Amino acid sequence: MITIGIVIFPNVEELDFIGPFEVLSYINKIQAHSTKVLLIAPSLEPVHAFNGLRVFPDLTLENCPKLDILLFPGGKGRTQWMKEPLMQDFIKQHYEELTYLTSVCTGAFFLAEAGVLLGREATTYHSAFDELAEYGVNVVTSKVVQDGKIITAGGVSSGLELGFYLLRELFSAPVAQEVADKIEYKIDVTCL
Protein backbone atom coordinates (compact mmCIF):
# COMPACT_ATOMS: atom_id res chain seq x y z
CA MET A 1 0.00 0.00 0.00
CA ILE A 2 1.26 3.45 -0.94
CA THR A 3 0.90 6.07 1.80
CA ILE A 4 0.15 9.57 0.56
CA GLY A 5 0.12 12.63 2.78
CA ILE A 6 -1.65 15.83 1.75
CA VAL A 7 -0.80 18.84 3.90
CA ILE A 8 -3.70 21.21 4.54
CA PHE A 9 -3.69 24.56 6.33
CA PRO A 10 -6.08 27.48 6.96
CA ASN A 11 -7.22 29.11 3.70
CA VAL A 12 -6.03 26.22 1.55
CA GLU A 13 -7.70 26.13 -1.88
CA GLU A 14 -10.22 23.28 -1.75
CA LEU A 15 -9.82 21.88 -5.27
CA ASP A 16 -6.02 21.88 -4.90
CA PHE A 17 -6.27 19.02 -2.43
CA ILE A 18 -9.72 17.52 -3.06
CA GLY A 19 -8.96 16.80 -6.74
CA PRO A 20 -5.85 14.71 -6.07
CA PHE A 21 -7.46 13.20 -2.95
CA GLU A 22 -10.36 11.88 -5.06
CA VAL A 23 -8.15 10.50 -7.84
CA LEU A 24 -5.57 8.94 -5.52
CA SER A 25 -8.26 7.39 -3.31
CA TYR A 26 -10.51 6.16 -6.10
CA ILE A 27 -8.00 3.52 -7.19
CA ASN A 28 -8.98 1.55 -4.07
CA LYS A 29 -12.38 0.92 -5.69
CA ILE A 30 -10.57 -0.79 -8.57
CA GLN A 31 -7.62 -2.37 -6.73
CA ALA A 32 -8.36 -2.64 -3.02
CA HIS A 33 -5.69 -1.46 -0.58
CA SER A 34 -3.63 0.34 -3.23
CA THR A 35 -3.34 3.69 -1.46
CA LYS A 36 -3.91 5.29 1.89
CA VAL A 37 -4.46 9.04 1.59
CA LEU A 38 -4.03 11.07 4.78
CA LEU A 39 -4.79 14.72 5.45
CA ILE A 40 -2.05 16.31 7.55
CA ALA A 41 -2.28 19.69 9.28
CA PRO A 42 -0.45 21.74 11.89
CA SER A 43 -3.04 20.61 14.47
CA LEU A 44 -6.09 18.35 14.67
CA GLU A 45 -8.41 21.36 14.79
CA PRO A 46 -10.78 21.67 11.81
CA VAL A 47 -9.11 23.47 8.92
CA HIS A 48 -11.17 26.27 7.38
CA ALA A 49 -10.41 26.25 3.67
CA PHE A 50 -10.54 29.35 1.48
CA ASN A 51 -14.08 28.91 0.15
CA GLY A 52 -15.58 27.91 3.50
CA LEU A 53 -15.18 24.12 3.59
CA ARG A 54 -14.24 22.80 7.03
CA VAL A 55 -11.99 19.74 6.98
CA PHE A 56 -10.86 17.48 9.80
CA PRO A 57 -7.23 16.36 9.40
CA ASP A 58 -6.18 12.77 10.08
CA LEU A 59 -2.77 13.62 11.55
CA THR A 60 -0.57 16.48 12.63
CA LEU A 61 2.81 17.33 11.20
CA GLU A 62 4.36 16.04 14.42
CA ASN A 63 2.77 12.56 14.40
CA CYS A 64 2.99 11.87 10.67
CA PRO A 65 4.25 8.38 9.77
CA LYS A 66 6.66 7.52 6.96
CA LEU A 67 5.20 8.57 3.62
CA ASP A 68 5.70 7.50 0.04
CA ILE A 69 4.23 10.66 -1.46
CA LEU A 70 3.84 14.11 0.07
CA LEU A 71 1.59 16.71 -1.58
CA PHE A 72 1.30 20.43 -0.89
CA PRO A 73 -1.75 22.28 -2.23
CA GLY A 74 -1.82 26.05 -2.56
CA GLY A 75 -4.27 28.81 -1.79
CA LYS A 76 -4.35 32.18 -0.06
CA GLY A 77 -3.11 30.68 3.20
CA ARG A 78 0.16 29.63 1.61
CA THR A 79 1.65 33.12 2.02
CA GLN A 80 1.68 32.64 5.79
CA TRP A 81 2.17 28.89 6.09
CA MET A 82 4.98 28.47 3.54
CA LYS A 83 7.17 30.66 5.77
CA GLU A 84 6.53 28.63 8.92
CA PRO A 85 9.69 26.80 10.03
CA LEU A 86 7.41 23.90 11.06
CA MET A 87 6.42 23.38 7.40
CA GLN A 88 9.96 23.74 6.06
CA ASP A 89 11.31 21.33 8.69
CA PHE A 90 8.53 18.86 7.86
CA ILE A 91 9.54 18.81 4.18
CA LYS A 92 13.24 18.43 5.01
CA GLN A 93 12.51 15.68 7.57
CA HIS A 94 10.53 13.56 5.09
CA TYR A 95 12.25 14.41 1.80
CA GLU A 96 14.73 11.51 1.68
CA GLU A 97 12.12 8.81 2.39
CA LEU A 98 9.70 10.02 -0.27
CA THR A 99 9.22 8.44 -3.66
CA TYR A 100 7.68 11.74 -4.82
CA LEU A 101 7.36 15.22 -3.33
CA THR A 102 4.51 17.01 -5.12
CA SER A 103 2.58 20.25 -5.22
CA VAL A 104 -0.51 21.72 -6.82
CA CYS A 105 -0.84 25.37 -7.86
CA THR A 106 0.89 27.74 -5.41
CA GLY A 107 1.73 24.78 -3.19
CA ALA A 108 5.04 24.88 -5.10
CA PHE A 109 6.07 27.72 -2.80
CA PHE A 110 6.24 25.35 0.18
CA LEU A 111 8.85 23.37 -1.75
CA ALA A 112 10.66 26.55 -2.83
CA GLU A 113 10.81 27.89 0.75
CA ALA A 114 12.28 24.57 1.90
CA GLY A 115 14.99 24.95 -0.76
CA VAL A 116 14.21 21.77 -2.71
CA LEU A 117 13.24 23.55 -5.96
CA LEU A 118 16.45 25.55 -6.34
CA GLY A 119 17.77 25.03 -9.88
CA ARG A 120 14.93 22.65 -10.78
CA GLU A 121 12.11 22.80 -13.30
CA ALA A 122 8.67 23.32 -11.78
CA THR A 123 5.30 24.93 -12.42
CA THR A 124 2.66 26.77 -10.42
CA TYR A 125 -0.39 28.99 -10.92
CA HIS A 126 0.13 31.15 -14.03
CA SER A 127 0.03 34.50 -12.21
CA ALA A 128 2.76 33.31 -9.79
CA PHE A 129 5.37 32.26 -12.40
CA ASP A 130 7.58 35.32 -11.79
CA GLU A 131 7.37 34.94 -8.02
CA LEU A 132 8.44 31.29 -8.23
CA ALA A 133 11.31 32.17 -10.58
CA GLU A 134 12.68 34.47 -7.85
CA TYR A 135 13.48 31.30 -5.85
CA GLY A 136 15.91 30.15 -8.55
CA VAL A 137 13.36 27.85 -10.15
CA ASN A 138 13.22 27.23 -13.90
CA VAL A 139 9.47 27.79 -14.34
CA VAL A 140 7.82 25.69 -17.03
CA THR A 141 4.38 26.39 -18.50
CA SER A 142 2.75 22.98 -18.25
CA LYS A 143 -0.02 21.19 -16.34
CA VAL A 144 2.45 18.74 -14.75
CA VAL A 145 6.24 19.03 -14.51
CA GLN A 146 8.55 16.33 -13.14
CA ASP A 147 12.16 16.98 -12.17
CA GLY A 148 13.55 13.91 -10.47
CA LYS A 149 11.34 12.94 -7.57
CA ILE A 150 9.66 16.34 -7.47
CA ILE A 151 6.40 16.72 -9.42
CA THR A 152 4.56 20.03 -9.58
CA ALA A 153 1.18 20.80 -11.12
CA GLY A 154 -0.03 24.14 -12.48
CA GLY A 155 -3.27 25.89 -11.58
CA VAL A 156 -6.10 24.75 -9.34
CA SER A 157 -7.67 22.04 -11.53
CA SER A 158 -4.21 20.63 -12.34
CA GLY A 159 -4.42 18.59 -9.15
CA LEU A 160 -6.57 16.13 -11.09
CA GLU A 161 -3.85 15.73 -13.72
CA LEU A 162 -1.27 15.32 -10.96
CA GLY A 163 -3.36 12.52 -9.48
CA PHE A 164 -3.58 10.69 -12.81
CA TYR A 165 0.11 11.27 -13.46
CA LEU A 166 0.97 9.68 -10.11
CA LEU A 167 -1.35 6.72 -10.73
CA ARG A 168 0.30 6.17 -14.09
CA GLU A 169 3.78 6.28 -12.56
CA LEU A 170 2.94 4.11 -9.55
CA PHE A 171 0.58 1.55 -11.11
CA SER A 172 0.25 1.81 -14.90
CA ALA A 173 -1.32 3.86 -17.67
CA PRO A 174 -4.26 1.43 -18.01
CA VAL A 175 -5.04 1.67 -14.29
CA ALA A 176 -4.84 5.48 -14.36
CA GLN A 177 -7.07 5.53 -17.43
CA GLU A 178 -9.59 3.25 -15.74
CA VAL A 179 -9.80 5.63 -12.77
CA ALA A 180 -10.29 8.56 -15.16
CA ASP A 181 -13.03 6.71 -17.00
CA LYS A 182 -14.79 5.72 -13.76
CA ILE A 183 -14.91 9.29 -12.48
CA GLU A 184 -15.89 10.45 -15.99
CA TYR A 185 -12.88 12.71 -16.51
CA LYS A 186 -11.84 12.97 -20.13
CA ILE A 187 -8.08 12.60 -20.30
CA ASP A 188 -5.57 10.48 -22.16
CA VAL A 189 -3.16 9.55 -19.37
CA THR A 190 -0.48 8.54 -21.87
CA CYS A 191 -0.23 12.22 -22.89
CA LEU A 192 0.50 13.55 -19.40
Question: Rounded to the nearest 5°, which phi and psi values hold at 146?
Answer: -115, 130
Predicted TM-score of the model (pTM): 0.96
191 is catalytic: no
Q: What is the mean pLDDT of the chain?
A: 96
Range of the domain at 79: 2-191
Closest CA relative to residue 93, chosen from 121, 110, 74, 114? 114
pLDDT digits (tens, 9 = 90+) for 87-133: 999 999 999 999 999 999 999 999 999 999 999 999 999 999 999 99
pLDDT digits (tens, 9 = 90+) for 174-185: 999 999 999 999
Q: Which helix (H) or strand (E) holds 89?
A: helix 85-94
pLDDT of residue 11 exceeding 90: yes
Give the domain CATH number at 21: 3.40.50.880
pLDDT of residue 156 exceeding 90: no
The two most distant CA atoms of the chain are separated, in Å, by: 43
Mean pLDDT confidence for 62-89: 95
Residue 80's CB: how many other CB atoms inside 10 A? 12
3-class secondary structure, 99: coil
Residue 176 CA to residue 192 CA, distance in Å, equals: 11
C-alpha distances in Å from residue 169, one per residue of 23, 136, 192: 14, 27, 11
C-alpha distances in Å from residue 162, one per residue of 55, 80, 83, 140, 152: 21, 24, 24, 15, 8
Report the amino acid identity of residue 92.
Answer: K
pLDDT of residue 192 exceeding 90: no
Mean pLDDT confidence for 57-83: 96
Please name the residues in contact with 79: beta carbons below 8 A apart, sequence gap of 6 or more: none
| Total domains in the fold of the chain | 1
Selecting among 24, 105, 122, 137, the annotated active-site residue is 105
